[in-house]
Structure 1
Amino acid sequence: MSEEIDTGNPSALSHVSLGTNRYAEAVVFYDAVLATLGCTRLMEHEDACCWGKAYPEFWVQRPIDGRPATVGNGSHVGFVAVDPAQVDAFWVAALAAGAQGEGAPGPRPHYGAPYYGCFVRDLDGHKIEAACWDESLAG
């Protein structure tokens, strides 16, 4: 096992990128939706934009190879909410911005007793989620 390096970041992931065929609209969509979770736009290039809380965690971009973006079957991106109210706000903002609902906010005990979350499809059809662990649901 290699020596651990403390980067000060508890996350296992550096970032996630999703391709879009509707770049300008996707930026407006994610500005509205991710604001509900305390994320801000941190950086933007000609064909890529990122959001995060402290560093660039989530990117939306036109595919670098110039081909159309496609949706992954069986994949989704889950965003951290601090409480059920943030999950609810994410849901409302996403639907208002043009997302399609894939699972309204609520507990899903089969994911764990304290789980509370929702799922939507963004403007390109990518499945995204907001979820929190609410210990009051654990009973």
Structure 2
Amino acid sequence: MMSTQNPSIISHVSIGTNDYEKARAFYNVVLATLDINIIMEHPGAIAYGRMYPEFWVCTPHDGQPATLGNGFHMGFIALTKDQVHAFYDAAIAAGAICDGPPGPRPLYSDAYYGCFVRDLDGHKIEAAFWDEELAAKLQDH
């Protein structure tokens, strides 16, 4: 029997929250725009993914307040540019702060289209669409 290899390169990422119920409600709405769902949940911790529990939001296990990591951000794959906009709109409506509205970022690549927001705890999150057809054309030149 042939098994399918997990396409992810990271087992999972966890971010801390100081208000679990608000963070849970925020991510339920925002990640749904990218067809990302709850995979599992434990008291004070929830995991999201499409097939695997790749993104966790939880209260810190050590009981200390959650803090931000300078330079850290989490990027989610959008399947279309419309999903980038839906992610951004849902995040802003749910209380996120804009950290870069939807649009191209030629500095990254002409094939990149994304947005950045700060969640309710201040974590920087991104939704990005990668235009595979355009990327292939760019490589040919």
When normalised by structure 1's length, the TM-score is 0.92
Q: Aligned partners of 1:127, 1:103: CA distance in 2, in Å? A: 10
Residue 86 of structure 1: aligned partner: 83
Are 2:53 and 1:50 equivalent residues in the alignment? no
Q: 2:93 aligns with which of 87, 96, 101?
A: 96
Residue 122 of structure 2: aligned partner: 125
Query: Which portions of structure 1, spanning 4 or more consecutive aligned residues, are displaced by more than 6 angstroms?
Result: none
Q: Percent identity?
A: 60
* Aligned residue type for 1:109: P
The CA deviation string for residues 57-94 of structure 1, in whole angstroms up to 9 with x for no partner, is 10000000000000111110000001100000000000
Matched position secondary structure for 1:114? strand
Q: Aligned partners of 2:4, 2:19: CA distance in 1, in Å? A: 35
How many residue pairs match? The answer is 134
- CA shift, 1:11, in A, is 1.4
Are 2:21 and 1:21 equivalent residues in the alignment? no
The CA deviation string for residues 16-75 of structure 1, in whole angstroms up to 9 with x for no partner, is 100000100000000000000001111111110011100101000000000000011111
Residue 73 of structure 1: aligned partner: 70
- CA shift, 1:7, in A, is 6.1
When normalised by structure 2's length, the TM-score is 0.90
Mind listing any 5+ residue stretches in structure 2 that lack a counterpart?
none
- CA shift, 1:136, in A, is 4.7
Q: Aligned partners of 2:22, 2:120: CA distance in 1, in Å? A: 8
Mind listing any 5+ residue stretches in structure 1 that lack a counterpart?
1-5
